[in-house]
Structure 1
Amino acid sequence: MNLIEYPDRDLMMMDLASVLAGELNSYLMRHDEASFAVPGGTTPGPVFDALCAANIDWGRVRIVPTDERWLPESAPRSNARLIRRHLLTEHAAAATLVPLYAEAEQPEDRLEELTEAVRPLLPLTVCLLGMGTDLHVASIFPGADRLAEAMADDAPPLMAMRAPGAPEPRVTLTMPVLRGALSTHILITGAEKRAALDRARDADPAEAPVAALLDEATVHWAE
């Protein structure tokens, strides 16, 4: 595991935004389009606030949430809502958001068409992830109803997931998609998540899904 420790959060957010911009720009110098998977939640907000002003040809970037609650973008808990508000502004407003929600009662009703929209983005150019204190990534939760399927090497790109403590059904990129990204970064803050990360180093991925990514990912941490 490549772990980078920062003296403070502000420096980490700015530095990580610069790294992500550099990786996207480098890829776009050699390819027509780049794909960028990003999490919801509040932690990456400052990264997005810095990244949206970066000098990138955003019109050639496709952005996809790493996971999504089965809620419309108008809902306060929608990851797409946060991504659009914090990342798809300024220069980055030219990027295209590939949503993981479509209007239906259950994700299974629209999962096939959502999957077909994601396939052209693979392998992901850059993947930014968060991590929960329960060691979940995206919506691959310990104890989720289809955890083993989502972790399997032959998992489809997208799966619907339900987990204890998650009020809504979720749609998530599966572990092969996350592991297959050309560049993967995990962003965490605080002592509690650092302690959780230390537990994950030797943990069974079935109990700590993030453990399946630690060989490939760069982890960025600040108190």
Structure 2
Amino acid sequence: MNKEECQLADWSAVGYKHGAQGQAATTFNQYQADCADHSIKADYAAFKRGHQQGLDDYCVYETGLNNGSAGNNYNGNCPSRRYPDFAEGYHEGLGRFCTYESGYDQGARGQGANRNCAEQDYPEYSQGLVSGQAKYEVIRAVHALEDELISLEQDLQRQDEFIADSEAVIVSKESTSDDRVKALLDIKNHRDERKRIKREYRRVEAELADLQMRLSEM
């Protein structure tokens, strides 16, 4: 806050704004420090009254339900003894969130468990998470094999280029007998290497097909 804002502040309204957003009253500390720099005292009593009114409007059943349904942490600024409706809504919302489907979706995206969905309270969520994580690992393996196939294809292309270069040496009028002998040996070596790469390509291709089939069944 600048000096003018500190002089004109409606501290009750400022407190209400933070309370209505579910924020703690400790947000006042920064205002207090800002205004102290201008030798102006921020009114904590007014801020606190407004903040409490804001919390009363925030800590209701609907807000708790929305927070729980999003899997968010419980807002400790809404203690259950003072705001039982908020707590009820939160736990109902959490029950909607902590399902097998939600756990599966998170696991399939490579995410860890939401700590609000404790296994002892929501075993279905944990089961979904494990299944989703298994799918995620298969997806990762599929991508790795796809990348490997691309690399092998590039290796095959390089071998074909090496062979073409050696064949060009053989037919060139400028090549010596030794050049042609060496080129023939190079061709043999590159063709052998090409066969090895092709075998590896078929192995990876078959492994990829198996994983893709497995993935389609998950």
TM-score normalized by the length of structure 1 = 0.22
Q: Which has the higher contact order (CA 8 A, sep 6+)?
A: 1
Say which structure is richer in helix.
2
**Quick check: which has more Rg, 1 or 2?**
2
Say which structure is richer in strand.
1
TM-score normalized by the length of structure 2 = 0.22
